[in-house]
Amino acid sequence: MSAHPNHFAPLARLLHWLMALMIIAMLFIGAGMVASVSERHAWLIHLHKPLGIAILLLVIVRLVVRFSTRQPLLSADLPTWQVLAARASHVLLYALMLTLPLLGWAMISAAGDPVMLASAWQLPSIVPANTALFTFLRKAHGYLAYLLFLTVLVHLAAALFHGWVRRDGVLQSMLAGKDH
């Protein structure tokens, strides 16, 4: 058994791809929501809230898995700036996966609305009702959602660069491989 495996742990891979699908769906649901009125808006927001809270719970599980399993090493010939960029972008992705759902939850609390996940499932308010705070949180949620979108696009480009141009096993490490 080597100190560093060639692949991410199977549970880490499952969570990575499941959450990638959920987050990409959330970005489109969110953007679709603010561009719609009437019934479609209500339908989308009923999907947006529980899916966002599920992401919050899953990222906590994912961080526990992250720190209790071993990660593959990047290849030694990767330029330092790319190693640093990979680390920084991963930290940013984790930070946004945590803060965006919390901002969404806080935003609805600040609006003074009940935070309903389903017709009979209400979450507690996490901040007091306050119009100025709502305005700030609403803007922060929007800007950070688009920052997440941008980071995911750069991350996708980097993954494909590793898989198709460098062919150094990084993309493969998130796709397949037996547990060590």
Binding positions for ligand HEM, rule: CB under 6 A: 16, 20, 23-24, 26-27, 30-31, 33-34, 48-49, 52-53, 55, 66, 71-72, 74, 86, 90, 93-94, 97, 100-101, 104-105, 107-108, 115, 141-142, 145, 148, 152, 155-156, 159, 170-171, 173-174
Smallest gap from Cβ 63 to ligand HEM, in A, equals 9
| Sign of torsion over alpha carbons 22, 116, 138, 140 | negative
Beta carbon nearer to ligand HEM, 1 or 35 = 35
143 vs 178, which CB is nearer to ligand HEM?
A: 143
Residue 15 neighbours by CB distance under 10 Å: 19
Give φ, ψ of 66 to 5 degrees: -55, -45
- Nearer CB in complex with ligand HEM: 5/55: 55
CA count, 13 A, side-chain hemisphere, 94: 14
Task: Provide CB contacts within 8 A for 133, sequence distance 6+.
Answer: 110, 127
Task: Judge residue 107's burial from the number of C-beta atoms within 10 Å of its C-beta, 0-12 exposed, 13-18 middle, 19 or more buried.
Answer: buried
Provide, rounded to whole angstroms, the least separation between the CB of residue 93 and ligand HEM. 4
In the complex with ligand HEM, the residue whose CB is nearer, 1 or 64, is: 64
